[in-house]
Amino acid sequence: MTLPSTTKVLVIGYVWPEPRSSAASGHVMQILETFLEQGWDITFSSPAGPGEHKADLSALGIREVPIELNNSSFDTFISALAPDIVLFDQFMMEEQFGWRVEKHCAAALRVLETSDLQSLRHARHQRLKDRLKVNQDQDDFTDLFAPGLREEFELMADTDLAKREIAALYRCDLNLIISPTEIKLLVEQFGLSPELLHWCPLMVDRPGLEPSGYTEREHFLSIGNFRHAPNWDAVLWLKTTIWPLIRAQLPAAQLHVYGAYTPPKASALHNAAQGFHIMNRAEDALQVMSAARVCLAPLRFGAGIKGKLIDAMLCGTPSVTTPVGTEGMHDNHPWPGAVVSTAHQFAEQAVQLYNDQLRWQQAQQWSLELLEQRYQRTTHAAALIERIHACRQLLPQLRKNNFTGSMLRHHTLKSTQYMAQWIEEKKRDK
């Protein structure tokens, strides 16, 4: 098969990218930049309204075309565009538009960008809620971080969200998975073929300048979009349990909590007398991270890999987090900071890192080594393009091999199509 010299790509986004607000949007931007480097012709579409901090895609040479849910205008649009590749950003976009893509450009390679397994994240959130109902202890969450892959599967398998998300993965020709732990879960427990999956973590370049040193920094920092449930839970755990333990050992310590879309309930946590500062959105996340001595990320649930911890590495800022925070991020490489399972351990390790210059400097060095070994942009960008080329050349055979996906498209998408057409007709009647 001879590939055209100019490849047309349509990206259907759940939202318009806001790379300074979330790691998920940052990952989408990294993928778009990788495609641009190939000289590909890119159109980005979304049914969502533009957010406050939306990236200017048109300035990069990417066409921006709003689309509507349950509207046949999309059929006309995609037929005229005739893309060679369609990338769905999050599985809900594949649910909404997958059948239309198949109907009007069946030969296009269908790629799903997951950011994280939402069904895994939601199942873990429910497990935390259930645990807190029966056990109000806010210190030791070792049991929460202990389950193996089979236990995670058992937790997810009966949920509607998992059935929808895994079905979308099967229906696509290639799925970009950010965490190797999630690839293992999908292959070993849900039975997906490795042919359908590609490891595509956050892709970054090692900073050109050496990060600032121990004596040039002060304060603790926590950062994350407040709309993301794991981040909000982490702030609450910090406020109620962990930060008082740190302040008991460091009475003058200050914690700066940054996050996009700060709700009133978060602003209400601000208490300067306790050294707990809600700082709202950081205009430059790397700048505030570079000024902090230690990053705190007490995540009790979540999935994927954590953009805030990649940013910490880029800035040479040691971090204290949980096994959920480091999942899929460092393999056998030492973590550049500390990984703990209890609030008391968290406070102890945070204080030690803050006070011990030699240990802090070792953690900073590990940050830079881990970035180079695991997250090099050029390495992963090349691997992604190579995999996409291979899938396009072998597409007919790949689809034959993926009979489950073909079967799901035949049955599931028919019902989705008829539902969408019914909703469109109902809107016309009003």
**Could you report the per-residue pLDDT of 110-121, keeping only the tens digit for each?**
999 998 999 999
Task: Give the pLDDT score at 99.
Answer: 93
Residues 428, 430: Cα–Cα separation, whole Å: 6
* Non-local CB neighbours of 368 within 8 Å, separated by 6+ positions: 206, 211, 313, 316
**What token pair was written down for 320?**
């204290």
Amino acid at 145: F
Confidence of residue 20 (pLDDT cuts 50, 70, 90): confident
Task: Give the pLDDT score at 426.
Answer: 62
* Non-local CB neighbours of 157 within 8 Å, separated by 6+ positions: none
Residues 256, 219 contacting (CB under 8 angstroms): yes
* Non-local CB neighbours of 327 within 8 Å, separated by 6+ positions: 179, 181, 302, 303, 305
Nearest to 181 by CA among 328, 77, 375, 366: 328
Amino acid at 306: K
Q: Residues 292-314: pLDDT tens digits?
A: 999 999 999 999 999 999 999 99
Residues 282, 133: Cα–Cα separation, whole Å: 34
Residue ranges per domain, the chain? 8-119+148-203+377-429, 214-374
Say if domain 214-374 classifies as CATH 3.40.50.720: no
Domains 8-119+148-203+377-429 and 214-374 share a fold: yes
Q: Over the chain, what is the mean pLDDT?
A: 93
Say if domain 8-119+148-203+377-429 classifies as CATH 3.30.1360.80: no
pTM exceeds 0.95: no
Confidence of residue 3 (pLDDT cuts 50, 70, 90): very low
Residue 287 pLDDT more than 90?
yes
Segment among 156-165, 203-212, 344-353, 405-414 with least mean pLDDT: 405-414
**Burial, 149: exposed, middle or buried (Cβ in 10 Å; 0-12, 13-18, 19+)?**
middle
Provide the residue count of the chain. 430
Task: Give the pLDDT score at 200.
Answer: 97
Q: Residues 231-265: pLDDT tens digits?
A: 999 999 999 999 999 999 999 999 999 998 899 99
Residues 279, 35: Cα–Cα separation, whole Å: 35
